[in-house]
Amino acid sequence: MSTVKTILSSIATRRTIYSLKPELPANVTLEQIKDITQAILKDTPSAFNSQPNKVIILTGEAHKQVWNQVVEAIPTEDGKKRPQSAADEAYGTILFIVDDAVTKGLQEGFPAWAAAFPDFAVTSNGAVQISTWTALSQLPGFGAHLQHYNFLKGFLGDKIGENETIQAQLVFGTKAADAGEKTYKDNEIEVISTL
């Protein structure tokens, strides 16, 4: 398969997998997951090459403890379901973080662009999130879903800095069932060559 075909196939086969088992797939190690994520963190572009992104991987007791606290913080039974499944049915969580001090530094250094830098940081962080999700989804048996319980920063104590904002969580484990059906809207690209 050509490289482009491989990339397109990876993008198409990454899916939201809610049905997980709290273990790593056979033949997949935590080290591998860390190394893949590390490579993506390194190579993802950012505004002015500012590299505002950071990643933490939670496993074991840390993963369980954080998600159980999310469950406790949510008042409704329905609202508790997703975080409870993360606590009980997933192996780990990849936290995608932006260092807001980097954004502040850029705003001071380039005042003309100040208003744009927060969005630039989140854009770059989103690229890390989706590239990581896409790459890890190619590991046989791997499953994950993306969540936004960003207030869980409060349950991490001094493991996360004051200037750091959690943008998303990729909850992962062994895929226990395939993704649901997905519909696609008609969204043909328009090519404009004269106005």
Ligand X SMILES: Cc1cc2nc3c(=O)[nH]c(=O)nc-3n(C[C@H](O)[C@H](O)[C@H](O)COP(=O)(O)O)c2cc1C
List residues binding ligand X (CB under 6 A): 15-16, 145-148, 179, 182
Q: Cβ(175)–Cβ(25) under 8 Å? A: yes
Nearer to ligand X, 48 or 120 (CB): 120
Q: Say how far apart CA 182 and CA 172 lie, in whole Å.
A: 20
* Exposure letters 27-40 (e unless 16+ CB within 10 A, then b): ebeeeebeebbeeb
The first and second tokens of residue 182, run together, are: 């997905």
Nearer to ligand X, 107 or 147 (CB): 147
Nearer to ligand X, 62 or 146 (CB): 146
Nearer to ligand X, 26 or 153 (CB): 153
The values of phi and psi at residue 64, to 5°, are -65, -45
Q: Say how far apart CA 105 and CA 111 lie, in whole Å.
A: 10
As measured in angstroms, the least distance from the Cβ of 46 to ligand X is 18
The amino acid at 95: L
Nearer to ligand X, 29 or 123 (CB): 123
The structure tokens 């989103």 sit at 126
As measured in angstroms, the least distance from the Cβ of 112 to ligand X is 28
Q: Minimal CA–CA distance to 12: which of 175, 177, 140, 184?
A: 184
As measured in angstroms, the least distance from the Cβ of 154 to ligand X is 18
As measured in angstroms, the least distance from the Cβ of 28 to ligand X is 20
Q: Say how far apart CA 96 and CA 128 lie, in whole Å.
A: 8
As measured in angstroms, the least distance from the Cβ of 16 to ligand X is 3
